[in-house]
Amino acid sequence: MPGPHRCDHCEATFTRSEHLQRHQTMHNKSKTYPCRFCDKRFARSDVLRRHYQSCKLAQHVDKASVEIFRRVNRACNSCRRSKVKCSGVDPCERC
């Protein structure tokens, strides 16, 4: 069953508006996340992180010492579960 939110660029549909917004960045010509090891660029940071798993040049780097392989938390545990950004310091106003 297709979702109520339809992409203007392709036939993709989504049940949540934020998922549509995330998807639409892939159609954006501005790819602001470059791979530090090869020539590829990406519109989303999560796609870049996934790329690092298969990038042949990145596989030769000690991943434990490279910060780009770590995900940065932008919310405290309570807000992260609700998918809400906060300062990441407990307690936040929401908590």
Query: Mean pLDDT, consecutive 10-residue segments, the chain of 95 residues?
Result: 84 91 82 89 87 82 59 65 56 56
**How high is the pLDDT of residue 15?**
92
Largest CA distance in the chain: 45
**How high is the pLDDT of residue 92?**
61
Residue 35 CA to residue 49 CA, distance in Å, equals: 9
Cα 68 vs. chain centroid, distance in angstroms? 13
**How high is the pLDDT of residue 40?**
92
**How high is the pLDDT of residue 86?**
56
**How high is the pLDDT of residue 34?**
92
